[in-house]
């Protein structure tokens, strides 16, 4: 039994050693040359982070919409409507890092494009 515990501890230690070290801060250029699908060529783009907007009561997830779709009606277990918010009973928001949500604005047509895939970093810095 003791031998089994030792081997599992050693396995987790090696797994932790293989994990990549997340950088604390990462520098990004303020402008970058990037393909614009509207201009159909590479143009200068302004780089910035997307700001979180407050959720609208008229948008997806509203109670009215759920009622219309038959989610929060009747008696008995109403699924997510029977439970407290996820933030109260699940370990949410405990992550050390956040995924970047970059926006690229074309300097020619001033349309904005999004980043394909975010990367986990603690802090973003533009230079
Ligand atoms: Zn453009």
Q: How far is the CA of 53 from the centre of ligand 1 (A)?
A: 25
42 versus 54: the higher-pLDDT residue is: 42
Q: Determine the Cα–Cα distance for residues 71 and 81; give it in Å rounded to an integer.
A: 8
The answer on pLDDT for 121 being more than 50 is yes
Distance 32 CA to ligand 1 centre (A): 13
DSSP 70-94: TSS-SSS--GGGTS--HHHHS--S-
pLDDT at 19 over 70: no
28 within 8 A of 124, measured Cβ to Cβ: yes
For ligand 1, a single-atom ion, the residues with CB < 5 A are: 36, 38-39, 106, 108-109
Question: How far is Cα 63 from Cα 85, in angstroms, rounded to an integer?
Answer: 13
Tokens read off for 34: 């990037």
CATH of domain 22-50+97-127: 3.10.450.80
- Taking the centre of ligand 1 as the mean of its atom positions, its distance from the CA of residue 111, in whole angstroms, is 6
Question: What are the residue ranges spanned by the domains of the chain?
Answer: 22-50+97-127
Q: What is the per-residue pLDDT across 55-93, written as a single tens digit (0 to 9) for each?
A: 766 666 677 777 787 777 778 777 767 778 778 888 777
Count Cβ atoms below 10 Å from residue 43 Cβ, excluding itself. 16
């Amino acid at each position: 039994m003791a031998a089994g515990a030792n081997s599992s501890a050693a396995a987790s230690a090696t797994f932790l050693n293989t994990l990549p070290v997340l950088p604390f801060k990462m520098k990004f250029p303020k402008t970058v040359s990037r393909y614009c699908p509207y201009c159909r060529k590479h143009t200068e783009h302004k780089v910035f982070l997307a700001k979180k907007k407050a959720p609208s009561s008229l948008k997806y997830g509203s109670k009215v919409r759920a009622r219309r779709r038959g989610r929060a009606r009747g008696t008995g277990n109403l699924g997510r409507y029977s439970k407290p918010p996820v933030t109260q009973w699940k370990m949410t928001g405990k992550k050390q890092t956040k995924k970047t949500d970059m926006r690229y604005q074309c300097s020619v047509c001033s349309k904005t494009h999004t980043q394909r895939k975010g990367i986990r970093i603690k802090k973003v810095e533009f230079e």
